[in-house]
Structure 1
């Protein structure tokens, strides 16, 4: 059902916009391109294939990656309210990417390998710092981890804002700020290979460790008793989640709440077994972000709304509801 929903969401995303294109014509253009026929002359082929199709596919890839990262992070810290945004990972990735942009490249190179590497380094450093603070004293408190993530994330965001102010070009400053709130407006076919490879690799690695993720939910001692090398598994999860977050932030900016909402919704469908939860979260994240990006493009006639604004408007009330439910059960 989610695969069908994803195809429908992609079709609608390519069809809707400033110039609406009938669904049948969308598939005609895509079909001609896929079989190698000469594209029909006119602007509709350009709109469908060069502008909207790569953006819709990039939204699906980023959404799938955010769903995977959210699921892995929640198992890693044993907290269903954790996600890369709340734990400061996205803020660290944003700081690394913006630092690379400001120090050398322009906003247009935000999808380049150099910015992706900087974003990965920022995500890894941020997550490591949050984890160190949360583990002080030898214990492990999931809520302390979330609070440390919020604090580090705010610090990283403040430093990122300072770097943005150092940009001399006003147009570039506005571009960076819009990108930081989440945007896929500059999506092209050349941007797809790196995030596609990263998400595919992340899914394979995490799926291979699904049993270990299940064991982590029962605590470190129980997991170790089941034969899981907890220290090694956590290191691998650190690397995978930081790599994925860094690559995703480099191509889309920091998009919050997707990694929080998607795993919760999927657990209601299939339970907490990560062998089923991981692929389902990837598909659900893809569908959600394609839909959100379509809303962001078409909600206002005069301008595009950053994706992060839409996800925040949806995710913040859901987060408050989840917090309220957790407090009620205590």
Structure 2
């Protein structure tokens, strides 16, 4: 009887998760469909979808070449890239919070985003590699160096989650300072303005190439992490518990942290450093679907994608035709959420 009850409970839980995930996918699709119609250009909803349908080989859009370019080359890849960035950052935050057993861990807080920004700026401003090294490669090297430095600082301070966060703050400040120094000392005025705007998080330069790269890296990372969902569940209880279950702690940790650095690097190279998405969205997803990573990872990715689609739509329309960096909007939303998380973490008397 007890076994039958447990089986029924699991089936009901799986059904609820499936319903939530399906609902999330529908909301994401509707969000993208609405977001691509929003903008300062004089385009009706029917014009927008006529352009998209035409590019799929059906019908003809009665719009100018400029209007067609606005839809197909600007709005659509930008909106889709916003969804990918949200999914990737939320995925990275979920992985890091599990591996480090720290609810405040995310690529931005632990300095990975700052390191990736430094690596990308070294390539873009200093021209290191004479064109042979791409922004993504530079961002990946910077992300790995930054995270390695943070872990070394934390280990030298005795380890522990609190020391990792403190080391992450130091790493973030160091690489942010290096980025600013490179920009101020080597870039001209126009280059400086563009780079600083991009560093705050901007999707204004999104194109299909960026979308393909970030989408492929994020999707591959999600698939690999889902394959290690049970290991991530075990890491929640500590390295000893994971090792007792036969998990190769060092190898799995290295693999998953490497995936986190790779995803972060790809996203930073395309959209700059966007903070708080990887910190807040995993907590929202955990509240909805629970702590099991087989459910948490896809839920966090979908929630992050929906969130970033609307953040980007808000960033480019609230002061239209001028837009503000998406990183500014995520910070304005994320800081209060961060404060709530801190408040909930306070020890009970």
Separation in 2, partners of 1:244, 1:143 = 25
- 1:212-231 equivalence runs, <5 A: 212-231=231-250
Q: Aligned-pair RMSD on alpha carbons?
A: 1.8
CA deviations over 1:77-121 (Å, ceiling 9, x no partner): 10111110000010010111111111118xxx9xx9611001001
Query: 1:127: which partner in 2?
Result: 147
> Is 2:77–2:206's contact at 8 Å kept on the other side of the alignment?
yes
Helix, strand or coil at the partner of 1:192: helix
Q: Determine which of 116, 140, 143 is the counterpart of 2:136.
A: 116
Separation in 2, partners of 1:113, 1:156 = 20
Cα shift at 1:60: 0.9
Does residue 145 (structure 1) correspond to residue 168 (structure 2)? The answer is: no
CA deviations over 1:24-66 (Å, ceiling 9, x no partner): 4333322221235555441432221121011111111111111
Query: 2:6: which partner in 1?
Result: none
> Is 1:88–1:149's contact at 8 Å kept on the other side of the alignment?
yes
Does residue 74 (structure 1) correspond to residue 97 (structure 2)? The answer is: yes
- 1:136-285 equivalence runs, <5 A: 136=156, 140-285=159-304
Separation in 2, partners of 1:31, 1:4 = 20
Separation in 1, partners of 2:58, 2:153 = 55
Helix, strand or coil at the partner of 1:256: coil
Structure 2: gaps (5+ residues): 1-22
Does residue 93 (structure 1) correspond to residue 144 (structure 2)? The answer is: no
Q: Determine which of 322, 327, 330 is the counterpart of 2:346.
A: 327
Q: Determine which of 25, 38, 49 is the counterpart of 1:16.
A: 38
Q: Would the alpha carbon gap of residues 172 and 273 (structure 1) be closer, same or farther in structure 2, given more than 3 Å must change?
A: same
Cα shift at 1:197: 1.1
What's the TM-score once normalised by structure 1's chain length? 0.93
> Is 1:258–1:285's contact at 8 Å kept on the other side of the alignment?
yes
Cα shift at 1:290: 0.8
Separation in 1, partners of 2:307, 2:285 = 12
Structure 1: gaps (5+ residues): none
Separation in 1, partners of 2:252, 2:92 = 15
Separation in 1, partners of 2:335, 2:165 = 16
Query: 2:3: which partner in 1?
Result: none
Cα shift at 1:5: 1.3
Query: 1:34: which partner in 2?
Result: 56
> Is 1:30–1:49's contact at 8 Å kept on the other side of the alignment?
yes
Separation in 2, partners of 1:256, 1:28 = 35
Runs of 4+ in 1 over 4 A off after TM superposition: 36-39
Helix, strand or coil at the partner of 2:196: helix
> Is 1:95–1:119's contact at 8 Å kept on the other side of the alignment?
yes
Separation in 2, partners of 1:329, 1:4 = 40
CA deviations over 1:180-216 (Å, ceiling 9, x no partner): 0000101122322211111111111111111100000
Does residue 4 (structure 1) correspond to residue 26 (structure 2)? The answer is: yes
Separation in 1, partners of 2:334, 2:155 = 28
Helix, strand or coil at the partner of 1:80: coil
> Is 1:6–1:283's contact at 8 Å kept on the other side of the alignment?
yes
Separation in 2, partners of 1:90, 1:61 = 16
